[in-house]
Structure 1
């Protein structure tokens, strides 16, 4: 897992987060809408769960890569 995250380019993760993670830009990104539905207990339909996973994948990978890089940087 760590090797895979190291091989993923930062540019791909950042562009994926900006484009897919924040799409559509107006009126509200789907990711924020789905997280709000999850908090309110309204995330029950399969399409909504898929939408959360789809729009949340790149931001999640970006956070994991940043955390691993920070950890690796601090251990040196």
Structure 2
């Protein structure tokens, strides 16, 4: 389980998988804007894709919680 507790790997995942593709805007940012706009036309695959791009950031929040808040 050291993979989930390694800062370098989690930050690398956030910067690559979490934000890719980068042009014209980070993919996750586009999905968040789509959801905030009412999620009109979103299908199951779009929700799964959003979760997939959000996962590294959820791992980062978990790591922050485990390292700092839980002490």
TM-score, normalized by length of structure 1? 0.77
Is this contact kept in 2: 1:30–1:51, CA < 8 A? no
Measure the CA separation in 2 of the matches of 1:51 and 1:29. Answer: 13
Question: 1:67 matched to which residue of 2?
Answer: 65
Matched, 1:21 2:18: yes
| RMSD between superposed Cα atoms in Å | 1.5
TM superposition shift of 1:24: 0.8
Runs of at least 4 residues off by over 6 Å? none
Question: 1:40 matched to which residue of 2?
Answer: 37
Measure the CA separation in 1 of the matches of 2:66 and 2:35. Answer: 27
Measure the CA separation in 2 of the matches of 1:34 and 1:67. Answer: 25
Point out the structure with the larger helix share: 1
TM superposition shift of 1:55: 0.6
